[in-house]
Chains A and B, each alone.
Chain A
Amino acid sequence: GNSVTQMEGPVTLSEEAFLTINCTYTATGYPSLFWYVQYPGEGLQLLLKATKADDKGSNKGFEATYRKETTSFHLGKGSVQVSDSAVYFCALSDQGSGTYKYIFGTGTRLKVLA
């Protein structure tokens, strides 16, 4: 079945450091891919998305490119801020089921130190 694998956390970085959070997926067909962020005490918010191969999603300085050849959707940011501290979830939309339900990775906690 479809699945999403994310790198284990927590990830601790100093402010202005470069961030990469790895995400790979297994899916039949061509799923859409998403990154959601969950700030402390808040709900899940869409960070960015990509709906087809080679698409690049971007938002708030974060970027991720849909790589079909490596089945990956790694999240990156050139310079993190303390306010980026949160849990990041990679997800795919399960097209094959007809429901487009999300299959999530386990989440990666990011802590950015001033």
Chain B
Amino acid sequence: GAGVSQSPSNKVTEKGKDVELRCDPISGHTALYWYRQSLGQGLEFLIYFQGNSAPDKSGLPSDRFSAERTGGSVSTLTIQRTQQEDSAVYLCASSRLTSGATYEQYFGPGTRLTVT
């Protein structure tokens, strides 16, 4: 079946502009995660969605970052007023279920964001 897809694969933007990154999880996966992979910080958790529950935003680095998940499926990560330190690869992952069991996460190919 189809895996996790992300778009765009690459995004170059000027400092101060807003960007939107999209994630399509695997069909039927109720849990969705965003991570950031950068040279200085490694792989770090950003935000988690599970079904209709309130998202866990504890990993978002600043209030310039926000995310939503519509209809329990597609998710969009928005970065406002981008800064050069936002340059990184943004990874989306989905998982079948988390309550009471641990299911592995499936990762998308990532969006490479470059802020100039």
Q: List chain A positions with a Cβ less than 8 A from chain B.
A: 32, 34, 36, 42-46, 49, 51, 89, 91, 93, 95, 97-107
Would you call B105 and A102 a contact (CB within 8 A)? yes
C-alpha gap A91/B98 in the complex (Å): 16
Would you call B42 and A101 a contact (CB within 8 A)? no
**Shortest Cβ distance from A65 into chain B, in angstroms?**
17
What A residues does B102 contact at CB under 8 A?
A: 32, 51, 93, 95, 100
State the interface size on chain B (CB cutoff 8 A).
24
Cβ 8 A contact of B104, one of A34, A89, A107: A34
Would you call A99 and B98 a contact (CB within 8 A)? yes
What A residues does B104 contact at CB under 8 A?
A: 34, 46, 49
Residue of A nearest to B34 (CB): A101
12 residue pairs from A and B, CB less than 8 Å apart: A43-B110, A44-B93, A46-B104, A46-B106, A51-B102, A99-B31, A99-B33, A99-B56, A99-B98, A100-B98, A103-B45, A104-B43
What B residues does A103 contact at CB under 8 A?
A: 45
C-alpha gap A51/B104 in the complex (Å): 10
What B residues does A91 contact at CB under 8 A?
A: 43
Would you call A43 and B105 a contact (CB within 8 A)? no
Residue of A nearest to B48 (CB): A99
Would you call A99 and B50 a contact (CB within 8 A)? yes
**Shortest Cβ distance from A102 into chain B, in angstroms?**
6
What A residues does B113 contact at CB under 8 A?
A: none
What B residues does A51 contact at CB under 8 A?
A: 102
